[in-house]
Structure 1
């Protein structure tokens, strides 16, 4: 059951989904009696009729965005009609207006690669009254720095992995000139945000994180006043146990659950109890500025039927542990059979004391990894340090990274990485 809900709104959503998607009505039965406890979780398997629908029947004026594949290796097509796009932009404008409150900014640079966030960035910032340009995808990292130097933005809108790439090639004396950074995409743990802020010459609170999903749209933003993520109005969030979503073999620590979302505004996706497969930590209701809202500490990892040990590896926690002791690094995690390898590439010279501190932090602050090692599921963790990215490159033949591009699965492992 959602942490916050309006039953009449949920019933209206249920009726809408049944009307728009005949396969959903067939799946849920002919009865028109609404009972929340009987509304099914939309798992990957149950969503296949949506993902495998005939694209030729989709109106030509709808926008289509593609993401990782289904079990049949067909890329998922996610649709937005004009109303969905308008709602997406409205929510982003509302969120960015809240985050940028108090900042004297006039120019934004979007460095988002490709996808929905990139396609909508310019109109969103322009609606906020900011001039905005977008950096073309595919340019080398050094060219992104040149654009920052020439355009002199106050706000940089980017992804953590792209921010890492720019920091990796930026000279120590590079003049960023930024007042703040807005992030979306991969996990951005507090220690990572602190290190990025130090490099950019701004405060940690000026590196602001947001969360979204191509299926749902905007989900939440990090509220620095309470140091937690706040779920957007119109989005219902609930936490369920993995077994409820068909993953009985996955065990999560106390306080962690699978994130399930319902959007009251999204129409061209059946956004009713959608299982994200993201693991949310400490989901609860708080009173913020006199209003009850759903909040959580972080999204720490992703689970799913396609991962073996990978579903228990939290990149969020690993990076947070590393950046408590290392100023700048590229972190890569390899799961090879029952062996876990953490590669840390840094331009800084790390003495034995710092290296030992990183190893101790990784072992002591990530209970799931320690438990797997003690239980024999994983061998002792290898922590490898190098002076550059190539020094901790992955073995030849290693499969492509999953979404956050930091967790790798060796081909000899069972299963395949989650898209």
Structure 2
């Protein structure tokens, strides 16, 4: 397929600006706080990305995640880990949002599994949230015999169900798949296609998984999504890049531009380069996904021509910049800082989700009672993570003592969230 860096302006620039203006106006009607923000900036009715506000965790925590939304009586609610106020985040989907998400996944998965006969078995083994709730519907609409596995069940039950159903198509999370492959008695399945979502799955990992199952690397698809935005992007074997879905307008911003962002700060739009990722979804209605700050860092955002059309693409996801980590499900950075302050007061630490959740704390030793206290606190503050640990799908939180010069960050209390490699 032809591949080249796009050198001309976006061919639908004027139409896209009108779409963005209509999108922002719709969110202003649904969310009064967003309307006030646009009015204060004087950009109500504008489709210029540079003028529209960046939507970060501060605004969402104050106005969306725990707020009541009586104007959306038909909404479905999905919950994830806590906000700084201790309440769980609630993300709303309209019926149209659900339909759009399923359509995006159906299009992608349908193309990816086109060599697998319809009627074959497809199994989803995911955590919680919208992807897990929607997976079976996607597979059924594609014509597969579809099953999903309850993430609350112990890992040996996952193995038994998978070995019994022997899926031709398997949709799971990298961390869960790693755990399943380590379990005994062993996983004995021969899927023809594997899709993963929820954790960074670099090319080397996908190649290893493909070899483990006797597949080609291109038979393992890495899917990038979030409960806030929905379907975002996916790996492309032909180009070696990640391609954004058509409803996504991505931007990158230098991370330092977002470090002390206020509601009134204006952040120029940049649709090429590397940095912190901002996303706008033209399909999302019950979440204000306009210049939404995802907390992810990406490398190499640019526009390409592929298969006769222009698409946004990027090279890789470098990891998390702020907000939360992943240990099967999300762990709030705020919650983690609180846990460490209670159990290791004044001690510098870092946290990484590089190989499960590992907390490195500056200390001569870490006692068993301290580890137990940290784990109990994480269980309390992130119940979905606690359930996945109890089920054996992810390992327990690890805490290790390190000398000060072993910390990778330049600031004593900075938490390092990036997966390296």
Coarse TM-score class (shorter-chain normalised): 0.7 to 0.9
Alignment of 1:345-364 (within 5 A): none
The list of structure 1 runs, each at least 4 consecutive aligned residues, that deviate by more than 6 angstroms after superposition, is 307-312, 401-413, 415-418
**Alpha carbons 2:280, 2:290 under 8 Å: kept:** yes
Rounded to whole Å, the distance in 1 between the matches of 2:134 and 2:298 is: 27
Rounded to whole Å, the distance in 1 between the matches of 2:159 and 2:113 is: 23
Counterpart for residue 23 of structure 1: 33
Structure 1 residues 72 and 416, CA, compared in 2 at 3 Å: closer, same or farther? farther
Report the secondary structure of 1:282's partner residue.
strand
Rounded to whole Å, the distance in 2 between the matches of 1:408 and 1:284 is: 38
Instruction: Give the gaps of 5 or more residues in structure 1.
Output: 249-253, 316-329, 340-393
**Alpha carbons 2:352, 2:359 under 8 Å: kept:** no
Rounded to whole Å, the distance in 2 between the matches of 1:44 and 1:408 is: 27
Report the secondary structure of 1:41's partner residue.
coil
Using the TM superposition, name which of 214-223 and 238-247 deviates more: 238-247
Counterpart for residue 361 of structure 2: 336
Rounded to whole Å, the distance in 1 between the matches of 2:112 and 2:296 is: 24
Per-residue deviation, residues 129-177 of structure 1 (Å, max 9, x unmatched): 11101112222222212212211210011111110111011556x5312
Counterpart for residue 144 of structure 1: 158
Measure how far apart 1:398 and its partner are. 4.0
Alignment of 1:119-268 (within 5 A): 119-170=133-184, 174-247=187-260, 256-268=274-286
Q: TM-score, normalised by structure 2?
A: 0.72
Alignment counterpart, residue 37 of structure 1, candidates 28, 47, 50:
50
Counterpart for residue 89 of structure 1: 102
Report the secondary structure of 1:299's partner residue.
strand
Report the secondary structure of 2:293's partner residue.
strand
**Alpha carbons 2:248, 2:280 under 8 Å: kept:** yes
Counterpart for residue 46 of structure 1: 59
Rounded to whole Å, the distance in 1 between the matches of 2:159 and 2:292 is: 38
Counterpart for residue 292 of structure 2: 274
**Alpha carbons 1:310, 1:409 under 8 Å: kept:** no
Measure how far apart 1:411 and its partner are. 11
Measure how far apart 1:115 and its partner are. 1.8
Q: TM-score, normalised by structure 1?
A: 0.73
Measure how far apart 1:337 and its partner are. 4.2
Per-residue deviation, residues 302-347 of structure 1 (Å, max 9, x unmatched): 11264899899683xxxxxxxxxxxxxx6664332499xxxxxxxx
Structure 1 residues 278 and 410, CA, compared in 2 at 3 Å: closer, same or farther? farther
Rounded to whole Å, the distance in 2 between the matches of 1:411 and 1:70 is: 28
Structure 1 residues 301 and 153, CA, compared in 2 at 3 Å: closer, same or farther? same
Per-residue deviation, residues 257-305 of structure 1 (Å, max 9, x unmatched): 1110001110100110000011111111111112111111121211126
Alignment counterpart, residue 7 of structure 1, candidates 17, 42, 55:
17
Alignment of 1:358-377 (within 5 A): none
Per-residue deviation, residues 350-393 of structure 1 (Å, max 9, x unmatched): xxxxxxxxxxxxxxxxxxxxxxxxxxxxxxxxxxxxxxxxxxxx
Instruction: Give the gaps of 5 or more residues in structure 2.
Output: 1-8, 262-271, 324-332, 338-347, 365-369, 389-393, 403-411
Counterpart for residue 114 of structure 1: 128
C-alpha RMSD over aligned residues: 3.4
**Alpha carbons 1:337, 1:414 under 8 Å: kept:** no
Q: Which has the higher contact order (CA 8 A, sep 6+)?
A: 2
Rounded to whole Å, the distance in 2 between the matches of 1:59 and 1:33 is: 22
Structure 1 residues 331 and 16, CA, compared in 2 at 3 Å: closer, same or farther? closer
